[in-house]
Amino acid sequence: MFQEYLSVIAQGIPTSLLLTVVSLLIAFCLALFLTFLLSMENKWVKRAVNLYLMLFTGTPLLVQFFLIYAGPGQFQWIIDSPLWYLLSNAWFCAALALALNSAAYSTQLFHGAVKAIPKGQWESCAALGLNRIQTLKILIPYALKRALPSYSNEIILVFKGTALASTITIMDIMGYARQLYGTEYDALTIYGIAGGIYLIITGIATLLLRKLEKKVLAFEHFEVSLVGFSHLWKLPC
């Protein structure tokens, strides 16, 4: 019985993983763009971006799923438009909801990392005659490396968030689990297997991301070593 349940539920793994990857790619690009806008220090642009952040970080992801999937169908002009082909697709709506939600949280992470950049680096760029846009092109990649540990957690949260996609008919891990429960009524075993699959995948992803963090952040240890060596070099004998 256990193997039968596992074989059915495991069919949803590719859908869950693909949904995670697509959503993260969209969210990452959108978060970079929004971080850039916030860092430009334009009052009206910042207000618009902060409104978006407030909407998507202040409301439950499940509500966002239903609004994006069921909401557009309430407007005839959307139904009559070419957009309806996409907005009537459950998979597209699930990816869009996850991406918009993740982009909001990622923007907060990235912008926080940009604000944490030492003042001296901003002054160095200004001394070289770089404008705000040129400075951000240099400093944002540096800030992203600093934000990687926190962003790793966001990646895991997006994968776990895909479980909500089953509420809008997506046949992911939870989608197959819910379908199986509808016929077998063995909640403990079925949902236990689904939870175990999520646990294993998130565990593997966490280990891989930790290794990536060590490689990406290795430059910081190198910089610290250089700074320490330079201070020792300047000490009088």
The 10s digit of each residue's pLDDT in 82-134 is 999 999 999 999 999 999 999 999 999 998 888 887 777 777 777 877 777 77
pTM over 0.75: yes
DSSP 114-176: HHTS-HHHHHHHHHTT--HHHHHHHHHHHHHHHHHHHHHHHHHHHHHHGGGGGGGT--SHHHH
Residue ranges of domains in the chain, CATH in brackets: 2-234 (1.10.3720.10)
Whole-angstrom Cα Rg for the chain:
23
Tens digits of residue pLDDT in 146-176: 788 888 899 999 999 999 999 998 999 999 9
Q: How far is CA 73 from the centre of its chain?
A: 27
